[in-house]
């Protein structure tokens, strides 16, 4: 019984750690409001403004205006959005 409780506590703590450390991905509607662009909030690295690569761009949270942050919505971790 003690082994089960230790394993359960370990699994719960690993799940909490993963939720706290996963990247935050937000969606911002474009001016046409029919397409959503995805951005990953990252304080250490940001994509340059001229980045044309087709991927989720990394932006610093401070670079978004209050209006953009009000319109944005949090999207789950990128790994959870992939089809299996």
Tokens of 34: 């029919």
Q: Residues with Cβ < 8 Å from 60, sequence gap 6 or more?
A: 41, 42, 43, 46
Quick one: pLDDT at residue 4? Answer: 94
β-bridge mates for residue 58, sequence order: 40
pLDDT of the residue at 14: 94
The domain limits of the chain are 24-84
Q: Are 57 and 41 in contact (CB under 8 A)?
A: no
Q: What's residue 81's pLDDT? A: 45
* Tens place of pLDDT per residue across the chain (84 aa): 889 999 999 999 999 998 888 888 888 777 766 667 788 887 788 888 788 888 888 888 788 777 777 777 776 554 444 443
Q: What is the pTM of this model?
A: 0.53
């Amino acid at each position: 019984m003690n082994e089960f409780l230790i394993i359960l506590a370990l699994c719960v703590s690993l799940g909490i750690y993963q939720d706290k450390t996963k990247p935050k991905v937000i969606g911002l509607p474009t001016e046409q409001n029919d397409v959503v662009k995805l951005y990953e909030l990252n304080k250490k690295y940001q994509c340059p403004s001229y980045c044309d690569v087709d991927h989720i761009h990394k932006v610093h949270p401070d670079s978004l205006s209050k209006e953009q942050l009000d319109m944005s919505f949090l999207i789950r971790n990128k790994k959870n959005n992939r089809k299996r």
